[in-house]
Amino acid sequence: KALPYTWTQLLGELDIVVPVPKGTRARDLVVTIQKKKLKVALKGKEPIMEGELCKDIKVDESTWNIRMCSLQDNELLLIHLEKSNKEQWWENVLTHHPKIDTTKIEPPNSQLSDLDGETRGMVEKMMFDNQQKQMGKPTSDELKKMEALKKFQAAHPELDFSNAKIT
Query: In this structure, is residue 19 part of a structural domain?
Result: yes
**CA dist., res. 149 & res. 50, Å (int):** 65
Structural domain span for residue 21: 6-98
CATH at residue 20: 2.60.40.790
Q: Is 121 contained in some domain?
A: yes
Does 118 map to a domain?
A: yes
User: Cβ–Cβ contacts within 10 Å for residue 138, how many?
Assistant: 14
Model confidence band, residue 128 (pLDDT cutoffs 50, 70, 90) = confident
Are 62 and 30 members of one domain?
Answer: yes
22 and 52, same domain (yes or no): yes
pTM above 0.85, yes or no: no
- With a CB cutoff of 8 Å and minimum separation 6, the contacts of 56 are 35, 36, 83, 84, 85
pLDDT in tens, 62-74: 999 988 776 667 7
Is the same domain home to 79 and 139?
Answer: no
pLDDT in tens, 149-165: 889 888 988 888 777 77
pLDDT band at 110 (very low <50, low <70, confident <90, very high): low
**Overall domain count for the chain:** 2
Q: Is the pLDDT of residue 86 over 70?
A: yes
How many CB atoms lie under 10 A from the CB of residue 54?
Answer: 20
CA atoms of 36 and 14, how far apart (whole Å): 14
Flag whether 64 is in a domain: yes
**In this structure, are 41 and 78 located in the same domain?**
yes
Q: Within a domain: residue 106?
A: no
Do residue 40 and residue 89 come from a single domain? yes
Smallest CA-to-CA distance from 146 within 163, 122, 166 is with 166
Do residues 122 and 80 share a domain? no
Residues 13 and 94 occupy one common structural domain: yes
Q: Are 55 and 90 in contact (CB under 8 A)?
A: yes
Greater pLDDT, 153 or 117: 153
